[in-house]
Amino acid sequence: MQDAQLILPAPAKLNLMLHILGRRADGYHELQTLFQFLDHGDELGFTLRQDGEIRLRTEVPGVPHDSNLIVRAARKLQAESGCRLGADIWLDKRLPMGGGIGGGSSDAATTLLALDRLWSLDWSEDRLAALGLTLGADVPVFVRGRAAFAEGVGEQLTPVELPEPWFLVAVPQVFVSTAEIFSDPELTRNSPPIKVRSLLGGDSRNDCQPVVEKRYPEVRNALMELNKFTSARLTGTGACVFGSFPNRGDADKVRRQLPATLPSFIAQGRNISMLHRKLQGQA
């Protein structure tokens, strides 16, 4: 990483709520969700290569090099732009895989924004977000970097201004398969659509939570532990669960009372992602 020309964060996100409205003809689900970023995440480093090669210099256990979303994002941008330059990429992986806090999608978005800058492509945010959508439904929100109410498969984004509390995020030691949860016959698929205004009034249900709790006792136990102190919720399809607090001190008091077998971290919610604050010179 010390050899990198450009070092950028890839922040985590929370789904503060998640309603599933129905299943589409293409198998995807129509949903409504509320994204907010956290001041916590992975970090990536990038250095220009003249030979067109894309090399992820950090091995990610269980993920072949060419399957990694970082490599796929870089190669897709390279192909779509016709750019002949390449990059060496390093990853400091801090976010859990299968945690529902956006690790892979955020890494892909940071890669697109970093290489757009490093390769002097000067693509618009809209164009980068559209490319990101071909990599995953959550990639566009990270490309745009603003807290948002999302509809469709999560790609129709309306920016929102939210309170920025402190979150305690518990990380059950289990990988939750998103595909498995969305294919479960017991999943609620008929939530009525709501408007942003009523959403901001506090409806924070996650339709995936009952299915995840039933399938993964580790997640159910984490929710029970956190619910002793605050209203705990699942983010995305999990496995991570979270509760909000008015300040870091209150979150830290609860964190110290969680079982030693349940890893956790504390981070502040952010309406502008730390990636975009860094790119704008504000971080």
CB-based contact 86:55 (threshold 8 Å): yes
CB-based contact 172:222 (threshold 8 Å): yes
Burial class (CB in 10 A: 0-12, 13-18, 19+), 30: middle
Please tell me which residue in 107, 116, 138, 207 is annotated as part of the active site: 138
Q: Give the Cα separation of 198 and 191 in Å (integer).
A: 14
Q: Give the Cα separation of 227 and 222 in Å (integer).
A: 8
| DSSP 3-state of 147 | coil
Q: Is 214 a catalytic residue?
A: no
Q: Which residues of 87-125 are buried (b: 16+ CB within 10 A; e: fewer)?
A: bbbbbebebbebbbbbbbbbbbbbbbbbbbebbebebee
The number of angstroms, rounded, from the C-alpha of 14 to the middle of its chain's C-alpha atoms is 7
Q: Is 66 a catalytic residue?
A: no
Strands 241-245 and 233-234: antiparallel
Q: How many CA atoms lie within 13 A of 246 on its CB side?
A: 0
- Cα→Cα distances 171→133, 222, 259, Å: 27, 8, 12
Residue of 109, 116, 153 lying closest to 12 (CA atoms): 109
Please tell me which residue in 13, 39, 42, 250 is annotated as part of the active site: 13
Task: Point out the residues that are catalytic.
Answer: 13, 138
